A and B are shown apart, each in its own frame.
Chain A
Amino acid sequence: MTALTILLVLVLLLVVFGLLFRLQILTSIFSGTYVREIGMSNRINAALMIVFMVVGGGAFFWSFSENFNKMNPPVASVHGHAMERMFWITMTVIGIAFAITQALLFIYSYKYQHKEGRRAYFFAHNNTIEVIWTIIPAIVMASLIFAGWKAWTRITGPAPKDSVVVELMGKQFNWLVRYPGRDMKLGVVNYRLIDASNDFGFDLSDKSALDDFTSTEIHVPKGHPVLIKIRSRDVLHAVYMPHFRVQMYAVPGMPTRFWFTPTMTTDEMRAHLGNPKFNYELACNQICGKSHFAMKATLIVDEPDDYQAWYAKQSPNSANADMMASYKQTSKNAGLGKGGSAGAKAAAIEETGETPAVPLAAQASM
C-alpha cells in the first residue's frame, strides 16, 4: 500500500512539473512576451553536440579499454588467435569509419547550426558520390567477409584425423562428460536408456560403449586437436568456453560438434594471469531454465603426458556395477538392448563414431 502511494506521488509530481512548464509558455503567450524565434536554446543545443561528441566519445573509448579484458580473456587456442587477428582488423576498419562519420555528424551539426541570414547550400543529389560511397564500402566489406569465410571454413570444417574426442551432454543443470575409452570409439547412447545410474543413456549392448568412461572434469591435452561432440538431453544448451573462443549449441535430437587446439595448459594460464585458483570454465550459454546461470563445468588442459596418465587411470562403464545391473531392466522396458552393436546403432539417432570427419549431412537438410 505504501508502495502504491509513493508511486502515485511520483506520477503526480511529474504531472505537476509538466503542467507548470506548459503554464509558463501559455502565460508568456498571453502576456505577449512569447517570441517564437530560434535563439539561445538552439545555440546551447549546438554546443552540446560538441560536448556530447567529446564526452561520449571519451566515455566510449574508456569503457572499451576498461572492460576489454573481461570480455576478451587471453586466447588459449590456435583458431582463437586467428579470431583475434580478424577482430582487430575489423575493429580498425570499422573504427576509422566510425570516427570519421561521428566526427562529421557532430561537428557539422555544430558548425552549420542556424545562423541568421545563412541558408543551406542546395545540393540535392550527385550520382558520382553515391557510386563512390557505395562501391568502396562494398569492397571493404567483401574483403572482411572473404577473410572471415576462409577462417570459418577452417574452424567448422573436418577435425584433424588424430583429434582427441570427448563428448559433452548438457542437461538441466550440469554437463555430463564422456570419453571413448581404450578402444578410442564412442559407444552408442540412446535417450530411452537413461536412468538413475545411466545418465548418458549408454546402450551397453554396443561393445564400444562398455569401455567408455564418464568424468566430472574435462581433460584435454595441450597442442593436440580436440574434437568436442555435443549433445543435449532435454532443452537447448550451449557449450561456451571463452578462453578457447568456442561456442556451439547442444541440441536435443541433433548432435553437434566443435574442434579446437588448446595452446596453454591450466598451469601456464594460472602463471600468466597470476591467479593460482584459475580454471578454464565451460559455461552454458543458452537459456535452459532455472539454474542456467550456474550451469558450468571445469576444463583442464594438461601436458600430453599428464593427459595420457589421467586417461589410463579412468574406470570404464564395464566396471560400473550399478549401471550394468540397471541396464538390463531399463533396456527391456525401452525395448532395446538386442542386436548387439548394429542393433544399438540402428535404434539411436546418430552413429557416434570417433571419426572426426563426422558428416554434417544430418544438418545439411535443415
Chain B
Amino acid sequence: MATNLPSAAQAQGGVGVASVPHTEHDDHLHGHEEHHDQHWLWKYVFSQDHKMIARQFLITGMIWAIIGGTLSSLFRLQLGWPEATLDWLQPFLGKWIEGGKLNPEFYLALVTMHGTIMVFFVLTAGLSGTFSNFLIPLQVGARDMASGFMNMLSYWFFFLSSVIMFASLFLETGPAAAGWTIYPPLSALPQAISGSGMGMTMWLVSMAFFIVSQLLGGVNYVTTVINMRTRGMSMSKLPLTIWAFFLTAILGILSFPVLLSAALLLIFDRSFGTSFFLSDIYIAGQALHNQGGSPVLFQHLFWFLGHPEVYIVIMPAMGMVSEVLATNARKPIFGYRAMIGSLIGISLLSFVVWAHHMFVTGMNPFLVRCSCS
C-alpha cells in the first residue's frame, strides 16, 4: 500500500528538504508526479524548509497588514472628518454604523484590533518570522534551522492564532475593544464594554497561541545562531543582520512569557472569579466581589513585554539596514564592534525601562524615575 506519511527524517525534524528520502505515492492520484520526492502537503503546507516557512510568514503578514491598514482607514475616516456622514459604509459595516457615525464601541474595537494586528501579527510575526527564518540559515552557513519541525509548528501556531483573531472581528458583540494594551478592569469586565465579552476571550486565546509561536521560533533562531554556524564563522564575524535577529530572538524568549502570564491571569479574572487585577468595583448597578487586586500589576506585566516588544520590532530592521547600506556602498559598515555593542546595550537596557510607559499610572513616582530612558 502506498503511503503519504512523512519519512522518518522529517518526523525527527531533520535538516532541509533536499535530504528527504523518496516517499511513495498513490499511483492513481499522482502517477505523473512520481519524480517528486515530497508530497505537496509536506512540501508546501507543513513544510519544514526555512525558506518555505519564511514565505508562509510573509504572505500571512502581508494579508494582516492589509487588514490592519483597512481598520486604520476606517477609524481615521471617523477621526479626521468627525462631521462627515459615514452612511456609505453601511453595506460593509452594517450595524456598526449608527446615525452616519461609527458606533463608539466599534471605534474603540477598531483602534484595539489595528494596534494588536500591526504590532504583533505584522511587525513581530510578519517581520521576524519572515526575515529571521529566511536569512539566518543562509547567512550563518547552515543547511536549515536547528529544528525544521519546531519551525513548522511555529508557523502553524501563528496561523491558528491568526484564524482566531480574524474570526473575532466578526463577532456579534464585537472584537476586543479595550485598546491594544487591554488594561483591566475594562478588558476583564464584559459589562464595561461589549468587546470585553467573547471578543476579549478570543483575543487572549489567539495571543496565547501567538506567544507559543514566537517562543518556538525564537528558540530555534537562537539555537541555530549559536550551534550551527559554519566553520570559521565566529560570533564576531556574524553579519550584523544576524546579530540583530539573534538578540531579537533572545528578547522575545525572555519577555513574551510575561505577556502570557498577564493574559493567563486575565483569563482567570474573567472566567474563574479571581482578583489579580480587580478590586473595589461597582459597575452596572452591582458591587463586585473582587478585593485586593491591582490594575497596575497588569500594566507592569504587560509593559515588561511591551517595551522589549518595540525593540523586537525595530532591531531586525536596523540589522537589515546595516546590511543594505554596507552592500550598496560597497564598504563594511562603520564600527562593526561598536554596532554589536549598541545592539547588546539596547537589549540589556530594554528590560529595565518598562515603567516609562507608566508615568501617570499612580505607581510610586520614585520607582518610575528609575525607568528614565
Contact = CB atoms under 8 A, between A and B. Distances in A.
Interface in A1-31: 2-3
A130 B335 contact: yes
Interface stretch (B55-63, B184-192, B247-255): B184-192
B282 A251 contact: no
A77 interface: no
Given A234-B192, A251-B361, A125 B337 contact: yes
A290 B294 contact: no
Nearest to B112: A287
A52 interface: no
B37 interface: no
B335 A249 contact: no
B338 A130 contact: yes
Interface residues of A, number: 54
A126 interface: yes
A366 B364 CA distance: 7
A238 interface: yes
B103 to A, nearest CB: 8
Given A130-B338, A251-B295, A120 B282 contact: no
B170 interface: no
Nearest to B298: A236
B98 to A, nearest CB: 11
Interface in A221-251: 230, 233-236, 238, 247-249, 251
Contacts of B367: 364, 366
B152 interface: no
A228 B179 CA distance: 27
Interface residues of B, number: 45
Contacts of B193: 289-290
Interface stretch (A92-100, A144-152, A268-276, A311-319): A144-152
Contact of A290 (B104, B297, B360, B365): B104
A145 B372 contact: yes
Interface in B122-158: none
A256 B362 contact: yes
Contacts of A120: 329-331
A200 to B, nearest CB: 10
Contact of B281 (A2, A233, A364): A233
Interface in A241-299: 247-249, 251-254, 256, 286-293
Contacts of A287: 108, 178-179, 183, 186
B279 interface: yes
Given A251-B295, A253-B278, A363 B372 contact: no
Contact of A125 (B186, B293, B336, B365): B336
A234 B364 contact: no
A120 B332 CA distance: 10
A26 B281 CA distance: 67
Contacts of A346: none
B281 A248 contact: no
Contacts of B185: 234-236, 252
Interface string A351-366: 0000000001001101
A293 B75 CA distance: 14
Interface of B: 91-92, 104-105, 108, 178-179, 183, 185-186, 189, 192-193, 278-283, 287, 292-297, 300, 329-332, 334-338, 360-365, 367, 369, 372
Given A254-B294, A366-B294, 12 more contacts: A125-B338, A127-B338, A130-B338, A172-B283, A191-B282, A194-B287, A235-B185, A251-B362, A253-B281, A286-B183, A287-B108, A289-B105
